[in-house]
């Protein structure tokens, strides 16, 4: 395991305790080492340092100390608890929110490499529409998905089977969520107790999910084994794009910033909608599927052909190397080079034998990363971008599960992705990607082909789930998925407000 962001250490030692009375005591004690709360696996694009971000944000007038810390940084937490709560006493809660909770909330400026006041445990807060209602907020944030809540019409839209939904998400009691992130579960628990103590009975727990990066060399990889968090758009005013990465206006992610076309109340500026999904991953079933449907590429043995199928379903090798650049075998050097591992757009203008509108020799049209970010397949720039900020949850696959090729039904062995995406418009971000791109088997954009669903997250609304293009030797062949590898256990839509909104609007 590597310790990321070591420059933090230098900043910590010269911090005066009295200047920051509300930080965790452990963050304030000068220490020989203060482990970062973030992972930094090779292959992830680098975060801007606090100094670089300050410079870039000044150019566009973005106030990074007003934006909660989780929104722009991506999938990098070591441990993260999602604590879903209901508000039982709005008056008491508001008062606590404005006085003792607000100082615990981590801003973007605090979480970046080289930040001056890095918290030992980061805290963010977000509210559902029901939560805003309970707080007496009458303003309309002008997002239909948010307003309706995720459960509303979810089968017709996202394709969920609500019988698999966690009852907590299907109920009507989730008013908000605390995101509590640190390098150890103990610190997460300590901060949660502190929040509960501060809130003194004004809120109650509805549900929780404890996420954690996978162990050892799997750190940064989701449960199927693929490096996850390689590609997020660069938000202008925050980060500079690595080659091949899309740059988006801040308003694609943040309300009220340039690029946000919605009409919003002033106080909503610098907030973002948080789409949360508990996505169970059936790992032994996925692995068996790859073995049973292994491709037949000459020169590759059976297990390599199984790996190849998985890589084509995702669009990247487990290492993170994109198949568009290395289609038939993994390239571990490319995988960890953030200046090359996003530098592709499916078109290959230099290859005279290749027509990117019909030929899937490099990357299938249905691959998860092509379905969810078509890059040069569609006219650029487009607005259907999200910042992904989720984390794996649940234990590693047990020997018994592996041996039986099936996920245990023991709830304590459930594993998956605590999916989080941030966007200024849910219907243009998460819900669009899931409904219009991932779940759509029909003619995809300009391709006069039925290419099937996204092999990882797509749901067949007609029951017949398949994808074509996965077999490089016979690209019209359909490969049928007789079961789902990812099962939605539900979720909710939240609004992650700015610091000033918490201070001046939500707590008064």
Ligand X SMILES: *[C@@H]1O[C@H](CO)[C@@H](O)[C@H](O)[C@H]1NC(C)=O
114 interface partner picked from ligand HEM, ligand X, none, CB below 5 to 8 A per type: ligand X
Binding flag, residue 360, ligand HEM (CB under 6 A)? no
In the bound state with ligand HEM, the residue whose beta carbon lies nearer, of 6 and 247, is 247
In the bound state with ligand X, the residue whose beta carbon lies nearer, of 87 and 112, is 112
In this structure, are strands 486-496 and 272-281 parallel, antiparallel, or unpaired? antiparallel
In the bound state with ligand X, the residue whose beta carbon lies nearer, of 88 and 396, is 396
In the bound state with ligand HEM, the residue whose beta carbon lies nearer, of 388 and 441, is 388
> 49: burial class by Cβ within 10 Å (0-12, 13-18, 19+)?
middle
What single-letter DSSP state applies at residue 493?
E
In the bound state with ligand X, the residue whose beta carbon lies nearer, of 26 and 52, is 52
User: Which residues on adjacent β-strands are paired with residue 204?
Assistant: 86
Q: How far is the CB of 204 from ligand X (least distance, A)?
A: 29
Going by C-alpha positions, the residue among 183, 207, 212, 205 that lies closest to residue 24 is 183
In this structure, are strands 234-235 and 247-248 parallel, antiparallel, or unpaired? parallel
Q: How far is the CB of 171 from ligand X (least distance, A)?
A: 20
Interacting positions 396-435 with ligand HEM (CB under 6 A): 416-417, 419, 430, 433-434
89 interface partner picked from ligand X, ligand HEM, none, CB below 5 to 8 A per type: none
In the bound state with ligand X, the residue whose beta carbon lies nearer, of 190 and 300, is 300
DSSP-based three-state secondary structure for 252: helix
Distance, in Å, from the CA atom of 147 to the CA atom of 237, rounded to the nearest integer, reads 29
Q: How far is the CB of 450 from ligand X (least distance, A)?
A: 4
Instruction: Specify whether the CB–CB gap between 472 and 294 falls below 8 A.
Output: no
Distance, in Å, from the CA atom of 260 to the CA atom of 266, rounded to the nearest integer, reads 13
What single-letter DSSP state applies at residue 105?
B
Residue 163 backbone dihedrals phi, psi, to 5 degrees: -65, -25
319 interface partner picked from ligand X, ligand HEM, none, CB below 5 to 8 A per type: none
What is 3-23 written as a DSSP string? ---THHHHHHHT--GGG-TTS
Q: Where are the beta strands (DSSP E) in 88-148?
A: 121-127
228 labelled catalytic? yes
| Set 70, 228, 324, 337: catalytic member | 228
**Contact stretch for ligand HEM (CB under 6 A) within 12-20, 23-31, 253-261, 364-372:** 364-372
* Of 28, 112, 135, 369, the one binding ligand HEM by CB under 6 A: 369
Q: How far is the CB of 353 from ligand X (least distance, A)?
A: 4
In this structure, are strands 466-468 and 391-393 parallel, antiparallel, or unpaired? unpaired
- Site residues for ligand X per CB under 6 A: 7, 49, 51-52, 63, 65-66, 114, 140, 142, 153, 156-157, 261-263, 288, 291-292, 301-304, 345, 347, 349, 351, 353-354, 359, 361, 376, 380, 399, 402-405, 450, 466, 468, 474, 476-478, 499-500
Interacting positions 477-496 with ligand HEM (CB under 6 A): 486
Distance, in Å, from the CA atom of 227 to the CA atom of 206, rounded to the nearest integer, reads 31
**What are the tokens at 116?**
């001056």
Interacting positions 267-286 with ligand HEM (CB under 6 A): 277, 279, 281
Binding flag, residue 373, ligand HEM (CB under 6 A)? yes
Q: ∠95-100-105 over CA atoms, to 5°? A: 115
Binding flag, residue 213, ligand HEM (CB under 6 A)? no
Work out the number of other CB atoms within 10 angstroms of the CB of residue 332: 15
Catalytic residues: 228
Residues forming the site for ligand HEM (CB under 6 A): 222, 224, 226-231, 277, 279, 281, 314, 316, 368-369, 372-373, 386, 388, 416-417, 419, 430, 433-434, 438, 456-457, 486
């Amino acid at each position: 395991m590597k310790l990321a962001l070591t420059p933090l250490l230098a900043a910590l030692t010269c911090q005066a305790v009295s200047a920051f009375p509300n930080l965790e005591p452990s963050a304030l004690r000068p220490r020989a080492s203060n482990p970062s709360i973030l992972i930094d696996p090779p292959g992830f694009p680098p975060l801007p340092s606090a100094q670089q971000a300050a410079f870039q944000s000044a150019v566009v007038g973005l106030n990074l100390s007003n934006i909660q810390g989780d929104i722009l940084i991506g999938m990098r937490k070591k441990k993260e608890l999602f604590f879903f709560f209901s508000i039982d006493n709005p008056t008491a809660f508001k008062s606590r929110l404005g006085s003792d909770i607000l100082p615990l909330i981590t801003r973007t400026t605090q979480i970046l490499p080289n930040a001056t006041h890095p918290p030992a445990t980061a805290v963010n807060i977000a509210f559902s529409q029901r939560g805003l209602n309970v707080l007496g907020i009458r303003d309309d944030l002008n997002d239909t998905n948010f307003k309706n809540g995720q459960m509303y019409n979810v089968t017709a839209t996202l394709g969920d089977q609500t019988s698999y939904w966690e009852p907590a998400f299907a109920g009507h009691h989730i008013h908000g969520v605390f995101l509590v992130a640190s390098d150890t579960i103990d610190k997460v628990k300590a901060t949660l107790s502190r929040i509960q103590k501060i809130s003194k009975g004004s809120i109650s727990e509805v549900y929780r999910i404890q996420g954690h990066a996978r162990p050892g060399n799997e750190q940064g990889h989701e449960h199927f084994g693929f490096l996850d968090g390689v590609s997020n758009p660069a938000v202008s005013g925050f980060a500079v794009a690595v080659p091949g990465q899309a740059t988006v206006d801040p308003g694609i992610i943040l309300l009220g910033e340039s690029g946000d076309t919605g009409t919003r109340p002033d106080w909503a500026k610098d907030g973002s909608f948080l789409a949360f999904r508990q996505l169970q991953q059936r790992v032994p079933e996925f692995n068996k599927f790859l073995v049973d449907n292994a491709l037949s590429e000459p020169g590759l043995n059976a297990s390599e052909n199984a790996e190849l199928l998985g890589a084509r379903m995702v669009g990247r090798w487990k290492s993170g190397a994109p198949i568009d650049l290395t289609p038939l075998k993994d390239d571990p050097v490319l995988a960890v080079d953030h200046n090359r591992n996003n530098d592709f757009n499916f078109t290959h203008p230099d290859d005279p034998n290749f027509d990117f509108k019909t030929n899937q020799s490099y990357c299938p049209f249905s691959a998860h990363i092509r379905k969810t970010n078509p890059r040069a397949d569609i006219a650029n720039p487009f607005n259907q971008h999200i910042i992904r900020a989720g984390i794996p949850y649940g234990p590693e696959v047990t020997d018994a599960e592996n041996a039986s090729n099936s996920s245990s039904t023991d709830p304590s062995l459930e594993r998956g992705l605590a999916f989080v995406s941030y966007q200024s418009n849910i219907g243009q971000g998460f819900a669009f990607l899931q409904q219009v791109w991932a779940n759509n088997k029909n003619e995809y954009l300009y391709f006069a082909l039925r290419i099937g669903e996204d092999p990882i997250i797509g749901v067949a609304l007609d029951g017949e789930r398949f994808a074509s293009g996965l077999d490089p030797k016979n690209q019209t062949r359909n490969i049928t998925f007789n079961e789902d590898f990812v099962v939605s256990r539900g979720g909710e839509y939240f609004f992650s407000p700015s610091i000033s909104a918490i201070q001046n609007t939500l707590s008064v």
